[in-house]
């Protein structure tokens, strides 16, 4: 419906930053399993669904992937691409679809604040958070909780912006 907005990651990044700042004062009311959670879940499903084809994973990383939902990857990869990207930049599983990670990389180059987050290794998807509100999970700090024994590798790579060709 409003998916064309994804093609404007820089203004969407500004909206994300403003929204992130705006909800901070409401932390104590925005708790997992709280009274407001159903409203936030509905707002995320409708709003992010219309713009980003949100899959409601509960661990939104739009700001790290060029405002592209990584869960729309047919393989649900959080750290892509899979290696099966076709020469034309399309997906190996769905040839009619551009690779989510190719699109994410291109859009990330337009993001001045969070663009470098693209190279960060993301934690695996926690399927227990599916259908929950990612904003509430982020405020509570549970969106980045990793399974026991899983460690986030340290990535020391140059800025993604310095690799633009």
128-141 pLDDT tens trace: 999 999 999 999 99
Tell me the average pLDDT of the chain: 88
Q: pLDDT tens digits for 55-83?
A: 999 999 999 999 999 999 999 888 888 88
Domain, as residue range, for 147:
3-163
The total of structural domains in the chain comes to 1
Residue in 120, 11, 126, 16 with CA at minimum distance from that of residue 64: 120
Residue 70, burial from CB neighbour count under 10 angstroms (0-12, 13-18, 19+): buried
């Amino acid at each position: 419906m409003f998916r064309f907005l994804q093609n404007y990651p820089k203004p969407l990044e500004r909206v994300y930053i403003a929204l992130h700042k705006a909800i901070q004062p409401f932390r104590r009311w925005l708790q997992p399993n709280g009274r407001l959670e159903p409203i936030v879940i509905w707002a995320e499903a409708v709003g992010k669904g219309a713009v980003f084809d949100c899959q409601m994973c509960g661990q939104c990383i739009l700001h790290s992937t060029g405002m592209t939902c990584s869960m729309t990857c047919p393989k649900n990869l959080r750290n892509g691409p899979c290696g099966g990207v076709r020469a034309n930049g399309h997906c190996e599983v769905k040839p009619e679809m551009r690779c989510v990670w190719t699109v994410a990389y291109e859009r990330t180059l337009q993001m001045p604040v969070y663009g470098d987050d693209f190279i960060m290794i993301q934690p695996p998807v926690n399927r227990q958070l599916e259908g929950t509100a990612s904003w509430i999970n982020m405020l509570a700090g549970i969106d980045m909780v990793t399974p026991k024994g899983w460690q986030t590798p340290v990535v020391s790579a140059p800025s993604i912006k310095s690799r633009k060709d």
